[in-house]
Structure 1
Amino acid sequence: MDERAAIEAVLNGDREAFAVLIEPHLNFWIRMAAAWLGSVQDGEDAVQNALVQCYQHLGQFHRRAKFSTWATRIVIRECCRIGRDRDRGVQFLDRREAAEPGFEGVVALETTLGDVLNSEERELFRLAVAEGRSWADVGRLTGMSSGAAKTKWWRARRRLKAALWEGESLDD
């Protein structure tokens, strides 16, 4: 079943068709949310909350983008909400705990973040969050000091969080 057919099936009451939409991206969303929030359990909670929102608001999805892109934005917003509620910044998982994200998930996320982050900041995101590299590795790979790389990422992360919470609706 393709994405469009699965969406129509869900909207017509077929709850099981929702699994067709989420299964290919579920592991990526959990890894991303766990990296964002600092624990696998918090990541799983964030993804679960976000997917409930996706299911409840699927009728508002305008299909201009892929479902995975739309859902990724909702996962990111839920991570921001949880992080804000805990009143703490992003913590990255130890590289040993983080699995490599799937290619489609990274592409969907980079597309979603493309309007907020410049190319240098997207590269920092890819290296530090998606690949889970140390700041020393990130600095070496980008040609900047690890401190400079970390500072640039933290500033970009603040802008990203602000952009995701300012005037965004679920149907974007």
Structure 2
Amino acid sequence: MVKSLLSTIALSATLLFSGAASADLKVGDMAPDFSMVGSDGKTYSLSDYKGNKAVVLAWFPKAFTSGCTIECKSLAENGHLLKNFNAQYFMASTDDVSDNTLFAQETKADFPLLSDPEGEVADAYDVSFMGYAKRHTFYIDKTGKIVMIDKNVRPATSAEDMAKYMKMLGFDKS
């Protein structure tokens, strides 16, 4: 009886955790494709850039919060540093499109803020945490491969850091 009960518990735990845990994305992996609506009303997909441009996808937790506002303003005020590269950069969150649209207007973002309100893309990128996205930035080359993951984003110097990493990674200049 005890042996049967332990076997049942072990099987249940295996089934529970095997479906819940996804493998962490790492450098060298192909980036999961995405299709998300931007704060400008357009839909953006990673596959649209494959073969043409690198992509930087900067996940942020929540529009209108302190750190996210600082990060978005850094990118808006220093976007000229990023526009030197043949790369498309985005910020992305699990906020609704309407929230990200207002947030983009308030922070004067001149780049799209992507919305993933269902959290499916955040799940695919392993950034989901209690309904929000972790502040991680993915650098994806023209082939669609992840070449760097920054898990220690500093909101105040986000643009400068992105430009430094794009140069270090050898992203093409515009």
Q: Specify which structure has the bigger relative contact order, considering alpha-carbon pairs within 8 angstroms and separated by 6 or more residues.
A: 2
Shorter-chain TM range is under 0.3
TM-score (norm 1): 0.27
TM-score (norm 2): 0.27
